[in-house]
Amino acid sequence: MEFWDNINDVVKNMGDRAIDLIETAKLSARIMAEKKEVSDELEKIGTYYYELYARGGIVAPEVAELSKTVKNHYDAIDRFQAEIDRLRADQQVKKTKYCPACGIKVSSSTRYCSGCGELLLK
Ligand SMILES: [Zn+2]
């Protein structure tokens, strides 16, 4: 009977371990959720102080220093966006076509010229 008692202990142990693993996973998930909440709240605090700085409000030197870094990143975003806008505008210009018959500007996808009816797509 000692064999079966040992087997029972092993199975019970495995069950306990599985329950512990599930509990650990649940608690880890809750820690992750709490960390996300903390991160969201810290972001609100950061945004509050950044906006205060950006409006010319008085902030601690450390906050001003960090805000300058944020401002630099916002400026970089603006430059990249301007570059994207410029590339898209260039693309639009390249797509613009002119009717070979009457010379008016026509859409690149249009089949006939809206001015003179010339067949554009052949
Ligand atoms: Zn035309």
Contact 115, 97 (CB under 8 A): no
Query: Is the model's pLDDT at 87 over the cut of 70?
Result: yes
Query: Is the model's pLDDT at 1 over the cut of 70?
Result: no
Give the Å distance between the CA of 111 and the centre of ligand 1.
Answer: 11
Residue 62 lies in a domain: yes
Residue 119 lies in a domain: no
Contact 113, 99 (CB under 8 A): yes
> In this predicted structure, what is the pLDDT of residue 82?
98
Task: Give the residue numbers spanning the domain of 27.
Answer: 2-97
Number of domains into which the chain is organized: 1
pLDDT in tens, 49-77: 999 999 999 999 999 999 999 999 999 99
Instruction: Compute CA distances 10 → 24, 27, 72, 98, whole Å.
Output: 21, 25, 61, 83
If one compares 110 and 27, the residue with the highest pLDDT of the two is: 27
Residue 111 lies in a domain: no
Query: Is the model's pLDDT at 121 over the cut of 80?
Result: no
Give the Å distance between the CA of 94 and the centre of ligand 1.
Answer: 18
Residue 117 lies in a domain: no
Give the Å distance between the CA of 113 and the centre of ligand 1.
Answer: 5
Q: Which pairs with CB-CB distance under 8 Å and at least 24 residues apart come from 87-91?
A: none
Give the Å distance between the CA of 95 and the centre of ligand 1.
Answer: 17
- The residues, ordered by sequence, that sit 6+ positions from 39 with a Cβ below 8 Å of its Cβ are none
> In this predicted structure, what is the pLDDT of residue 61?
97
On the 0-12 / 13-18 / 19+ scale of CB atoms within 10 A, 50 is: middle
Residue 65 lies in a domain: yes
Query: Is the model's pLDDT at 48 over the cut of 90?
Result: yes
* Separation between Cα atoms, residue 59 and residue 47, nearest integer Å: 13
* Separation between Cα atoms, residue 102 and residue 100, nearest integer Å: 6
If one compares 2 and 80, the residue with the highest pLDDT of the two is: 80
Look at the pTM and tell me if it is higher than 0.85.
Answer: no
> In this predicted structure, what is the pLDDT of residue 11?
82
**Low-confidence winner among 46-50, 67-71, 93-97, 110-114 (lowest mean pLDDT):** 93-97
Average pLDDT, the chain: 92
